[in-house]
């Protein structure tokens, strides 16, 4: 596994916004019975940071890719 740095814009605090958005999404779904998996958190993270599109996010949900 290679090292991939996380880009941080210290003025815009982009990493904090992404983290807070992902944490809120995970937390609200846990109240409804969602049990987070590593893959599920990666999918949410990737969507909130713009790494994957909304369509890819929905496809992952329909395919239940988060359960892996």
- The whole-number pLDDT of residue 3 equals 63
Residue 63: C-alpha distances to residues 2, 8, 39, 66, 67 (Å): 28, 32, 13, 8, 9
pTM of structure: 0.61
- The whole-number pLDDT of residue 4 equals 64
Please identify every stretch of the chain with a pLDDT value under 50, giving residue numbers as ranges: none
- The whole-number pLDDT of residue 35 equals 85
- The whole-number pLDDT of residue 25 equals 79
Q: What percent of the chain has pLDDT over 90?
A: 15
């Amino acid at each position: 596994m290679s090292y991939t740095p996380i880009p941080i814009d210290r003025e815009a605090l982009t990493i904090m916004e992404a983290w807070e958005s992902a944490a809120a999404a995970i937390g609200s779904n846990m109240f409804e019975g969602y049990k987070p998996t590593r893959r599920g958190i990666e999918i949410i993270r990737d969507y909130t940071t713009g790494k994957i599109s909304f369509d890819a996010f929905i496809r992952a949900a329909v395919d239940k890719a988060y359960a892996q």
